[in-house]
């Protein structure tokens, strides 16, 4: 076992640095594979349901790489002292409890400090829109041997080589909950859909499992009366009804990672800047294959194509007249049936 891995195990065993996986957007418990989109809920889950550290299970998913740890509420498991930083915790374990941690090599951990949903780097304090974006950035502080495909870092070139051989294809066919391996991704998807015990999203009120966070959140609202989530900006008073609007606001207002146009507008991605540029270039790159019209945006072409379709999607409930575009249906309703509510 490498000294770095030994150091990581000592930190996890002797402190409340909670290890987690981050395969996608959500924190995943290393013991039971439950998923969490809220760091405080993850920490409560770890202290309530996994108070005993099981190193073999915790490190099973990462044989020779850095393990991610939540250091937000860091305490010593031996004397229960409050420890405000990872460096303080390491010094405490060595001096107060005579634990063996080799300071001549890496600690073997990637620390995260996650109060509520403020995604700031624990090492340089850079701010990010999401935990996933923060995780990608954190990898840059550990430039040992990094996989160019996913950004994971390893202690040795042999470990990186092994990771490349088994990841990105094979791991996608393994159910993270029951560990079954499938021949194809389609077989795995079918298994997950038909196996409620393998659903990763759990209702915190009643314990019912769901196949997606969308279904779980709808259940919380409909069954338990929980209000739909609002996205509150951690840097200003702005509140947003959906994640996408929050993401655009945060990147263009509170970071330097935006893409700007010469007209002064800011965008959260290069692709959105490119879409905007047609306002200035007046290019119409999407021609209709039926008539001579062309459009600057693909969505406008798709909408236009319904004019040439025989299928009428919208019908007036009063006079049974049919329309293939919503805008013409609305215009008809306002002109001929102004008293009828339009949904």
pLDDT tens digit at each of 343 positions of the chain: 578 889 999 999 999 999 998 877 788 999 988 888 889 999 999 999 999 999 988 988 776 678 999 999 999 999 999 998 899 999 999 999 999 999 888 888 999 999 876 788 888 888 888 888 888 888 778 756 667 666 666 656 666 776 666 665 555 677 877 888 888 777 888 888 888 888 888 888 898 888 887 788 888 888 998 877 778 887 888 888 777 888 888 888 888 888 999 999 999 888 889 888 888 988 888 888 888 899 888 888 877 887 787 777 788 888 888 887 778 888 888 888 887 777 6
Instruction: Mark whether 321 and 291 lie in a shared domain.
Output: yes
Print the domain residue range for 250. 231-281
Q: Is residue 266 in some structural domain?
A: yes
Instruction: Mark whether 296 and 272 lie in a shared domain.
Output: no
Give the number of other Cβ atoms within 10 Å of residue 43's Cβ: 19
Spatial separation of the C-alpha atoms in residues 28 and 68, rounded to whole Å: 11
Burial of 238 (0-12, 13-18, 19+ CB in 10 A): middle
Which of 99, 114, 130 is a domain's end point?
130
Helix axes 86-97, 3-14, angle to 10 degrees: 90
Q: What is the pLDDT of residue 177?
A: 79
Q: Is residue 111 in some structural domain?
A: yes
75 is written with which tokens? 């305490």
Instruction: Mark whether 238 and 327 lie in a shared domain.
Output: no
Instruction: Mark whether 277 and 322 lie in a shared domain.
Output: no
Q: pLDDT tens, 125-165? A: 888 888 888 888 887 787 566 676 666 666 566 667 766 66
Spatial separation of the C-alpha atoms in residues 172 and 194, rounded to whole Å: 18
Q: Is residue 72 in some structural domain?
A: yes
Distances (CA, A) of 261 to 249, 279, 281, 285, 305: 16, 11, 12, 20, 31
Distances (CA, A) of 63 to 133, 230, 232: 24, 38, 38
Q: Is residue 290 in some structural domain?
A: yes
Instruction: Mark whether 8 and 126 lie in a shared domain.
Output: yes
Give the number of other Cβ atoms within 10 Å of residue 242's Cβ: 11
Spatial separation of the C-alpha atoms in residues 28 and 308, rounded to whole Å: 49
Instruction: Mark whether 38 and 116 lie in a shared domain.
Output: yes
Q: Is residue 156 in some structural domain?
A: no
Q: How many independent structural domains does the chain possess?
A: 3
Distances (CA, A) of 226 to 100, 163, 220, 303: 47, 41, 5, 36
Residue 166 near residue 152 (C-beta atoms within 8 A): no
Spatial separation of the C-alpha atoms in residues 27 and 29, rounded to whole Å: 7
Instruction: Mark whether 294 and 326 lie in a shared domain.
Output: yes
Instruction: Mark whether 113 and 19 lie in a shared domain.
Output: yes
Q: Is residue 343 in some structural domain?
A: no
Give the number of other Cβ atoms within 10 Å of residue 70's Cβ: 22
Q: Is residue 243 in some structural domain?
A: yes
Instruction: Mark whether 277 and 295 lie in a shared domain.
Output: no
Q: For the chain, what is the HEC assignment?
A: CCHHHHHHHHHHHHECCEEEECCCCCEEECCCCCEECCHHHHHHHHHHHCCCCCHHHHCCCCCCECEEEECCCCEECCCCCECCCHHHHHHHHHHHHCCCCCCCCCCCEEEECCCCCCEECCCCCCEECCHHHHHHHHHCCCCCEECCCCCCEECCHHHHHHHHHHCCCCHHHECCCCCCECCCHHHHHHHHHHCHHHCCEECCCCCCEECCHHHHHHHHHHHHCCCCCCEECCCCCCEECCHHHHHHHHHHHHCCCCEECCCCCEECCHHHHHHHHHHHHCCCCEECCCCCCEECCHHHHHHHHHHHCCCCCEECCCCCCEECCHHHHHHHHHHHCCCCCCC
The mean pLDDT value of the chain amounts to 84
Q: What is the pLDDT of residue 285?
A: 83
Instruction: Mark whether 259 and 294 lie in a shared domain.
Output: no
Q: What is the pLDDT of residue 168?
A: 57
Instruction: Mark whether 21 and 104 lie in a shared domain.
Output: yes
Instruction: Mark whether 276 and 309 lie in a shared domain.
Output: no
Q: Is residue 294 in some structural domain?
A: yes
Spatial separation of the C-alpha atoms in residues 57 and 52, rounded to whole Å: 11
Q: For 72-118, what is the HEC assignment?
A: CCCEECCCCCECCCHHHHHHHHHHHHCCCCCCCCCCCEEEECCCCCC
């Amino acid at each position: 076992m490498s000294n770095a891995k030994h150091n990581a195990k000592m930190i996890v065993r002797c402190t409340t640095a909670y290890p987690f996986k981050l395969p996608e957007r959500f924190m995943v418990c290393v013991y039971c594979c439950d998923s969490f989109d809220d760091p405080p809920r993850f920490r409560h889950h770890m202290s309530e349901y996994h108070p005993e550290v099981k190193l073999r299970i915790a490190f099973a998913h990462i044989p020779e790489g850095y393990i991610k740890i939540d250091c937000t509420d860091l305490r010593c498991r031996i004397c229960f002292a409050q420890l405000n930083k990872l460096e303080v915790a390491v010094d405490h374990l060595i001096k107060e409890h005579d634990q063996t941690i080799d300071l001549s090599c890496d600690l073997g951990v990637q620390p995260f400090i996650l109060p509520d949903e403020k995604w700031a780097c624990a090492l340089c304090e850079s701010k990010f829109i999401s935990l996933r974006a923060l995780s990608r950035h954190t990898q840059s502080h550990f430039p040992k041997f990094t996989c160019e495909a996913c950004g994971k870092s390893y202690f040795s070139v042999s470990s990186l080589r092994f990771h490349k051989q088994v990841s990105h294809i094979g791991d996608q066919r393994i159910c993270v909950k029951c560990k079954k391996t499938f021949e194809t991704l389609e077989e795995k998807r079918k298994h997950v859909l038909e196996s409620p015990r393998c659903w990763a999203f759990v209702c915190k009120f009643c314990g019912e499992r769901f196949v997606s966070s969308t279904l779980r959140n709808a259940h919380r609202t409909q069954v338990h009366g929980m209000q739909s989530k609002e996205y509150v900006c951690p840097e200003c008073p702005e509140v947003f009804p959906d994640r996408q609007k929050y993401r655009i606001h945060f990147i263009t207002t509170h970071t330097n990672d935006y893409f700007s146009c010469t007209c002064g507008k800011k965008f959260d991605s290069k692709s959105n800047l490119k879409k905007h540029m047609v306002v200035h270039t007046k290019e119409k790159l999407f021609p209709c294959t039926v008539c001579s019209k062309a459009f600057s945006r693909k969505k406008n072409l798709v909408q236009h194509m319904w004019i040439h379709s025989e299928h009428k999607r919208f019908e007036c409930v009063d006079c049974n007249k049919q329309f293939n575009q919503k805008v013409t249906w609305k215009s008809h309703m306002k002109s001929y049936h102004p008293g009828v509510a339009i949904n």
